[in-house]
Every structure is written in structure tokens, then in C-alpha cells.
Amino acid sequence: MSSNRLALKAVLGAAALAGALAVAGQAHAAATIIINNINAAGVGFNDPTPATPVAGNSGTTLGEQRLIAFTYAANIWGATLTSDVPIIINAQFTPLTCTATSGVLGSAGATQIFRDFPNAPQPATWYSYALANRIAGSYLGTANAPQINSNFNSNLGTPGCLETSGWYYGLDSNQGTKIDFVAVLQHEMAHGLGFQTFTNGSTGAQNGGFPAIWDHFLFGTSAGKLWKDMTNAERAASAISVNGLVWTGPAVTAAVPSVLRLGAAAVDISGAGAGAAAGVYIAGDSTLGPPVLAPSVSGQIMPIVEQGTGTGGGCLPFDTRNGKAAFGNIVLIDRGVCAFAIKAKNAQDAGAIGVVIANNAAGALAPGGADPNVTIPVLGITQAAGNTIKAALALRSRSKSGVIASFTLTGNQYTGADPLGRALMNAPNPFQSGSSVSHYDPSMFRNQLMEPAINADLTQAVMPPIDLTYPLFQDIGWEVGPTPTALKGSR
């Protein structure tokens, strides 16, 4: 989602802001964040299209609503972090890559990086511009230069670009099926503030031959080394190691037990008809329906069949056969053709008490999407697990399977951490530019602000017991004092 790109200049004026809430116990002042609107007249943050005020956002034009939301998000970071040096952010809306089903929401990154500056905790190590200024206590480079460039997708919600979603400019995190602009702003600002490495994850090459401060905390479990101590080849291998890249910073590790769930979501298959399918299957958490925080629903599991050639299982309101299979039961549906939310809502409307979606390709599945009307739990399983369970169901009658599925938790590992309790970093194979390494792993539960995609259940919080972003900032040098409390957005 974040590819750490470019931008330039021009002052926002009345909407420029300071993080006004004091943070107790810190030697520095609350951070002042100034937004530079670099859009031309009539577009982006200056778009004059009339808009109706929404959920705390009083703007009456599209541009005003965008600026108010930016101000709100920046106030959260301004109140959370401390710095004696103003943080200046260039901001703009431009057309970004997009299709009807996916798209780049935005990008942000530091305009410059610095090493060996006054008070630098680690020598010969790169720091992002805003963080380096904070540690040095004064501007490095040109005074009043912008430290962060940010850019957001102006096409979102238009024909051919996630048009059924679009931006939500309210300030209350109740975005429904839309995309919460405040959450995206918080995420992108965090990248610019230092939530990124400056080492090339694809090649493993360090910028100018020097590590980033991130590389002092990134640890590859296969090589058994920190990134700063690896060869280029070892770093490149670590970046695609899936569950083999972890964060060793003490603040994040200490916060993991209070933020992440203990135990992985699972589907426990049992009953007289289970046969060879009996057992516990690790499942992927979904953004749809209530989370599995403890053993929850249990009932007969029944397969849902495709109702017409090419229509996809569960993609149409259930006919009589699927309706009988769903009513009062947990349903098993194959992935494919339509959105997870459509499958889940159709199952719920037919009386299902839970949904298991089986992947249609190798690998784990965490069903995404947003629909506040889905109120039954949804989990994803691998294609192999789905095939095993379907084989048992094929031997049963169409109205009663005798196979029981229970949604539960299994294991003693925090969801999104390794067996030693260290937070997993995003290391998919193949490498994903703009996503790999500089995000938390998407397996984390609860979902985190700095995962590579914005999830519908985010709450604007950036610190424990809800989020792990602030502890990572502590690790890299933003804060060394007590954790601030009662901050705006930490709800």
C-alpha cells in the first residue's frame, strides 16, 4: 500500500496545525505538525465539489473535508509524539493505480534521510528526516524544509476505481463499506515518520552501504542475524521468508502480549460423520463478522454448491437446496467469483450461524472485505483443508452431514508473533514492492494500523493495548520516556 514516493510545496494556511495535546512525562514538547497543501486550485485538497458534513467533519466541499480529516489524523500523531522541531508534511491528491476491485490508496515517505548527526543513538545509521530532527533537537539540512511527502488516490470511488467503496471522510471510524481516510492518513504519516527501512528489501543492498535504524531490529530467523549484520543475499532471502522476519525491539516485544491474541483461530472438525477429516485446522481471521476471541459457534457443517455455471459458490441468494443446508448450520463455501462479504451475507440471510471459506489455491486465507451487516463469524481455511472436509461431507446426506465444526483457538503463540513472542514483519514470497518489510505481518490479530492493508476494524489507536505502532517508534528513537496515556484516538 505504501511505496514511499514524492511531492513538493505550497502552504495550507488556516488548516496548518499543531498537535495541541500535552504528553505527560516527556522532556520534549508535543509535536507540531504542519501540512503543506501542494495541490493546484480546483483539485485534490482544493476540490470545490459540494459535500455534506459527515460524522464530525464539518467541511462543505470535498477539498475542505479532506483537509479537516488530515488535520484530525495529524493531531493524533502530534499528541502522541514529542519533538521540539516542527514536522512539515507535503500533501496532495493525484490519480494512482486502481481497478474496479483493488488500488493504491496512498503513499508517503521521508524526503531525506540522515546519519551521524548530533545525539544520534547509532553511528553510521540512517534515520528518517523527522526522527533525525527530533533526536538532534534542531533542523538538519535546510531550515523549515518538508520532512515528509504524502500522496493519496484522487480516483478512488470513481468509475473503474473501487467505485463501490470510495473514501469516507468522517472522523468516527464508522466507514461501513467505504475506506476510512483518517486511518489511511495515520498509516501513511507513520511511514513518513520512520515506519520504514531504507535498505532495499528486494536486493538486500543498504543505502550507500549503511544500515537503516530498522536494520538494528529486523531479525531473520533462518540466518539467525539482524539485518545490519547480514549480507545482501541474506537480507533479500529474509525479505521473502514468510514467517521468518521478526522485530526484536524491546518496546514492541513487551507490548505484544497486551495487543495480540493468544492462540490462532481454528476450525475443529468432529462428529460421527467426520471420519478422516476429524482434527483441528488453523484458520485465517476475517474482517467480516465478530472476531474469534475464544471458543464460539459450534454446529453441523454443510457444503454450499454453485447455483449456476460460473456463478461461484455462495454468490447468489441461496436457493432451496443451499437454504436447507445453511439454516441453523455452519456452511463451507469455496472462494471465487464474488466478494467474501457477498458470500457471508447470503449465508447469514439463509440462516447460517457461521461461515468457513476454503481457498481456491494453495496457501492460507484470511477473508477480507467490509459489511457491517454481517454479524456471524467468518473464517478462512486452506484449499487442502477444504478438500479434506468436503470429502467427508460428500459421504453424507444433503440435509444432514453429522460433521460438526467448532470455531475455537489453538496453540500458545500470539497471532502475528513468532514462538518467542517477537512481532512478525511482512515478508511474503514473492517480494511485494511498497509492502514487504516496512509493515507488520497481515496475520496479526487484532488487526494493526501498520499492516499492508487498511482493515475495517481499526479504531484510530496507535498504541497498546490496541496497536503496536507507537512501541516501534519507541524502539527506533522517537520516545524513550513513559508511554503517554489518554490520547485522542486511543479508544
- DSSP letter string over 265-307? EEEEEESTT-GGG-EEEE-EE-SSSS--SSS--EEEEEE---S
pLDDT at 24 over 50: no
Cis before 465? omega within 30 = yes
Determine the pLDDT at residue 184: 95
Sole residue written with cell 459457534: 297
Contact predicate 323/351, CB 8 Å: yes
In a shared domain, residues 191 and 320: no
pLDDT at 77 over 60: yes
Determine the pLDDT at residue 290: 92
pLDDT at 233 over 50: yes
Contact predicate 123/107, CB 8 Å: no
* Mean pLDDT score of the chain: 89
**Coil, helix or strand for 258?**
helix
Neighbours of 138 (CB within 10 A): 12
350-359 pLDDT, tens per residue? 999 999 999 9
Q: Is residue 5 part of a domain?
A: no
Determine the pLDDT at residue 308: 86
- The mean pLDDT value for 178-186 works out to 95
**pLDDT range class, residue 451, cuts 50, 70, 90:** very high
Sole residue written with cell 490479530: 445
Determine the pLDDT at residue 480: 64
- The distance in angstroms from the start CA to the end CA of the chain is 25
Nearest to 42 by CA among 65, 69, 63, 67: 63
Q: Which three cell numbers stand for residue 239?
A: 525479505
In a shared domain, residues 108 and 29: yes
Q: Which three cell numbers stand for residue 238?
A: 529474509
* CA–CA distance, 181 with 168 (Å, rounded to integer): 6
Determine the pLDDT at residue 28: 64
pLDDT at 1 over 60: no
* CA–CA distance, 112 with 133 (Å, rounded to integer): 11
Cross-strand bridge partners of residue 268: 280, 406
pLDDT at 347 over 50: yes
Rounded-to-5 percentages of helix, strand, coil across the chain:
20, 20, 55
Q: Is residue 242 part of a domain?
A: no
In a shared domain, residues 383 and 461: no
Determine the pLDDT at residue 397: 60
296-346 pLDDT, tens per residue? 899 999 999 999 888 899 999 999 999 999 999 999 999 999 999 999 999
**Coil, helix or strand for 220?**
strand
37-69 pLDDT, tens per residue? 999 999 999 999 999 999 999 999 999 999 999
Sole residue written with cell 483493488: 102
Sole residue written with cell 512525562: 25
Determine the pLDDT at residue 26: 37
Write the DSSP symbol of residue 8: -
Which of 388, 414, 440 delimits the end of a domain?
A: 414
276-303 pLDDT, tens per residue? 999 999 999 998 999 998 888 999 999 9
pLDDT at 396 over 70: no
Contact predicate 341/288, CB 8 Å: yes
Q: Is residue 172 part of a domain?
A: yes
The CATH number for 385's domain is: 3.50.30.30
pLDDT at 491 over 90: no
Record the pTM. Answer: 0.85
Contact predicate 108/192, CB 8 Å: yes
Cα dist from 334 to 53, 305, 315, 374, 398, whole Å: 41, 9, 10, 18, 17
Nearest to 34 by CA among 172, 207, 189, 257: 189
- The mean pLDDT value for 470-491 works out to 67
Sole residue written with cell 500522496: 151
Strands 298-303 and 404-414: antiparallel
Q: Is residue 400 part of a domain?
A: yes
- Poorest-confidence range of 13-27, 374-388, 448-462? 13-27
Contact predicate 327/338, CB 8 Å: no
Determine the pLDDT at residue 67: 96
Share of the chain above pLDDT 90, in %: 80
Q: Is residue 430 part of a domain?
A: no
* CA–CA distance, 128 with 389 (Å, rounded to integer): 50
Stronger pLDDT, 5 or 58, i.e. the higher one: 58
Cα dist from 238 to 222, 230, 475, whole Å: 7, 10, 21
Sole residue written with cell 535504524: 213
| Beta-carbon contacts of residue 25 (< 8 Å; ≥ 6 apart) | 481, 482, 484
Q: Is residue 438 part of a domain?
A: no
How deeply is 272 buried, as exposed, middle or buried, from its count of CB atoms within 10 A (0-12, 13-18, 19+)?
exposed
Q: Which domain, by its residues, includes 470?
A: 13-198+452-476
* CA–CA distance, 441 with 415 (Å, rounded to integer): 10
In a shared domain, residues 166 and 277: no
In a shared domain, residues 386 and 467: no
CA dihedral 140, 4, 126, 195 (to 10 degrees): 100
Determine the pLDDT at residue 401: 81
Determine the pLDDT at residue 164: 82
**pLDDT range class, residue 18, cuts 50, 70, 90:** very low
In a shared domain, residues 392 and 462: no
In a shared domain, residues 74 and 163: yes
In a shared domain, residues 30 and 88: yes
Determine the pLDDT at residue 22: 26
In a shared domain, residues 44 and 183: yes
Contact predicate 355/243, CB 8 Å: no
- The mean pLDDT value for 141-163 works out to 93
In a shared domain, residues 186 and 293: no
Determine the pLDDT at residue 398: 61
Stronger pLDDT, 489 or 288, i.e. the higher one: 288
Task: Give the largest Cα separation in the chain, rounded.
Answer: 75
In a shared domain, residues 279 and 365: yes
Q: Is residue 352 part of a domain?
A: yes
Determine the pLDDT at residue 27: 53
pLDDT at 387 over 80: yes
208-232 pLDDT, tens per residue? 999 999 999 999 999 999 999 999 9
Number of domains in the chain: 2
Determine the pLDDT at residue 23: 26
- The mean pLDDT value for 154-161 works out to 91
Determine the pLDDT at residue 128: 98
Q: Is residue 126 part of a domain?
A: yes
**pLDDT range class, residue 372, cuts 50, 70, 90:** confident
Sign of the four-CA dihedral 35, 39, 41, 44: negative
In a shared domain, residues 312 and 391: yes
Cross-strand bridge partners of residue 357: 333, 380
Contact predicate 332/390, CB 8 Å: yes
Determine the pLDDT at residue 483: 52
